[in-house]
Structure 1
């Protein structure tokens, strides 16, 4: 098996469980409009879709009655002020990142979360201090599933794309990595409603445990 020299990760649903803070932001906006809030088990599978996906979920057919941009700004403002109240690392992530650091394997983050929010969130976790690059959804003109963000991240890490692993929990993550000729890994612990669909994403590997990723490096 090929030994890879760098690892890139999605953020929400891959490294961090951010669903409850994102859901709180959604419910804040819904309550401000006098609408019913959304239960955790309903919004969690949609958390990777960010403000747009969550607002579409919460408002449903009534979304057209409101100014979407105003809703989005209210959502993001609330989320920014409450960005790491409930957010935590997934089990195994701390050990995985520590192992990569010990092996001198560079790693970074490529997310569709707006860069300014990612730059606020990531420093909240000391386990991320060795992160070599952080690419947000608006860092470049293109965002995942376009390959440009992951290619840019690999370049910043001075790692050839074919020597990189990209780990994510959504089809757009795997498409982005595949289009960049990276080794793609599905983080099945993330926000995946129907885990049986993962086999259709054309990833190289499906993992249940973050530490399994080390098998392609050590």
Structure 2
């Protein structure tokens, strides 16, 4: 981790899948539905959970295996997205302690928002399922701009909208691209180690400022 002085933030930005919401089961069940249309074996929760934040293509690669390019991947991706949209919150919920953490931020008048690589047509539907998101000051999706994480521009865009200084902002995410984007935006970065953090590079080498094991740790740090 990087050594850096911690100050109370003007605002906190969060990744979505694997950080705020545990979407893995709905994404995995969608993958298994697609595989069933091909008469292929399903993938277990233990297998798909670490890949859940890699999007439809990442999950399809997992399910289809080494010869994934021999399939009509774009057609299968369309089937995947249609099914997921129609079943987007069947099993999804906040990670334990996260809803309470967001409420604490509201009580302390600390602004917060969402910056995700999830496409807007999915993000917008998903967030309406949970009333807590009415307090989010901005929701930036993977196609809101022409670039997405690990490019820092979506984070700068969120800060500009919220009228906060990026250097006085925290970014919390569970993927290496989240930490890369946050560091490039000169934010204080937090690894949500309860999420889908599997990567070739160990989290200790992601160059984050902090690794936290549960959302309530944010509360403790702010206090």
Structure 2, unmatched stretches of 5+, are 1-5
Does the alignment pair 1:160 with 2:176?
Answer: no
| 1:89 equivalent in structure 2 | 94
Q: Which of 19, 27, 31 is matched with 1:14 structurally?
A: 19
Deviations along 1:158-182, one digit per CA (max 9) or x if unpaired, are 1110011000000000000000000
Q: CA 1:194–1:112 in structure 2 vs 1: closer, same or farther (change >3 Å)?
A: closer
Q: Distance in 1 between matches of 2:46 and 2:136?
A: 31
Q: In the alignment, is the contact (CA less than 8 A) between 1:16 and 1:88 conserved in 2?
A: yes
Give the Å deviation of 1:214. Answer: 2.8
Q: Which of 204, 209, 220 is matched with 1:199 structurally?
A: 204
Deviations along 1:147-197, one digit per CA (max 9) or x if unpaired, are 011111111111110011000000000000000000000000001237991
Q: Which of 145, 154, 158 is matched with 1:140 structurally?
A: 145
CA RMSD of aligned residues (A): 1.4
Aligned to 2:172, the other structure's residue is in SS state strand
Aligned to 1:184, the other structure's residue is in SS state strand
TM-score by length of 1: 0.96
Deviations along 1:102-154, one digit per CA (max 9) or x if unpaired, are 01111000001101100000110112220110011111110110101111111
Aligned residues: 218
Q: Which stretch shifts more, 60-69 or 21-30?
A: 60-69
Q: Distance in 1 between matches of 2:221 and 2:149?
A: 24
Q: Which of 46, 51, 66 is matched with 1:46 structurally?
A: 51
Does the alignment pair 1:102 with 2:107?
Answer: yes
Give the Å deviation of 1:98. Answer: 0.4
| 2:3 equivalent in structure 1 | none
Aligned to 2:105, the other structure's residue is in SS state helix
Q: Which of 160, 169, 174 is matched with 2:174 structurally?
A: 169
Q: Distance in 1 between matches of 2:145 and 2:204?
A: 30
Aligned to 2:114, the other structure's residue is in SS state strand
Q: In the alignment, is the contact (CA less than 8 A) between 1:145 and 1:172 conserved in 2?
A: yes
Q: Which of 184, 197, 211 is matched with 2:189 structurally?
A: 184
| 1:37 equivalent in structure 2 | 42
Give the Å deviation of 1:65. Answer: 1.9
